[in-house]
Amino acid sequence: MALRFLKKQARERALHKALRGSEAPTFPSLTLKILQKIRDLDCPVSEIAESLQWDPGLVVRVLRTVNAAAYGPANPIQNVGHAVSYMGRGQLEQIVLAIAVRDALPKDVAPGFDSTRFWFSASRRAALARLFADKLHPAKQAESFTGGLLQDMAIPVLATSRPDDYGQVLQRWHEDPTTRLENLEQEAFGWTHADVGGLLGKTWELPDRLVGAIHGHHRSNLTDAQILPSLRLVSVLRETGEEHGIDAVVEVAKSDYGIEQDWTHRAVADAEKQAAELTQLMA
């Protein structure tokens, strides 16, 4: 217990230093309670639904998301209990978690950061990761979606807490399509947004596999057992420039996983349609 406490303190100090003393965003206590109940297999669906009713805004966005074309229910889902039976606890948890993270992250305008562009890019990455998962490891679709959505979640936090130096790094990244953001970050600070995202994930007590997916999405030395292939593939996408990295995704999907190029191009087109819808739904 003492060792775990010391590790938590060390994480918080590292995060505090990276954010230059700014407070790390936090989840509302009600959201944490809802997530705990969803994860508790002994907790009845009726109790989960009752907890959600205390946050009407969350209920509305969960139902809007579940009923989106991206999830494809044959008939409209009218209540949270129906949503759980249709999607299962795992996928409901991913949706609640995604909405909670979006609410927790800063929305301020900052140098080099565009909120609309960022969330469309994150939604496209999430939708494409789920499509890759359906082809490569179908049981991990929900995990792939959330991992793709949250891979870069530290960027808005860093952009608003360090607008001077981190803003310059973001601007350089957007201006030069040949650069990799993590290389610019490592050169300037000695850490990357993936490192800070992993610290944030641990601070928020996200599931360990999700934290690992966020922290390791730019590490080429990880095996498929350590990071899902779907998340490895979408990690090369960009917000801007070089056709958003799509050609690189197509090439890696073919060379590493034998996925035909035409299939990947169609998946990217589908993901972009889903991203446009998902960006509005979670706003």
Q: Is the pTM of this model over 0.75?
A: yes
pLDDT, residue 50, reads: 86
The per-residue pLDDT for range 164-222, each reduced to its tens digit, is 999 999 999 988 878 889 999 999 999 999 999 998 888 888 888 889 889 988 887 77
Question: Does position 101 have pLDDT exceeding 90, yes or no?
Answer: no
The answer to whether the CB of 156 falls within 8 A of the CB of 200 is no
Residues 6+ apart with CB under 8 A from 30: 51, 54, 55
6 pLDDT tier (thresholds 50, 70, 90): very low
Neighbours of 242 (CB within 10 A): 13
The confidence score (pLDDT) of residue 85 equals: 79
Dihedral angle over CA of 228, 24, 203, 158, nearest 10 = 30
Across the strands, what pairs with 110? Answer: 113
In this predicted structure, the answer to whether residue 1 has a pLDDT above a threshold of 60 is: no
12 and 203 Cβ atoms separated by less than 8 Å: yes
Q: CA-CA distance, 234 to 253, in Å (whole number)?
A: 10
Q: What is the pLDDT of residues 109-124, one digit of tens each?
A: 788 898 888 989 998 9
Domains, the chain, ordered by start: 2-21+108-281 (1.10.3210.10), 26-104 (no CATH)
pLDDT at position 5 over 70: no
Calpha distance 155→45 (Å, rounded): 35
| 212: amino acid identity, one letter | G
Phi, then psi, of 113 in degrees rounded to 5: -120, 130
More confident residue, 243 or 11: 243
Per DSSP, 248 falls in state H
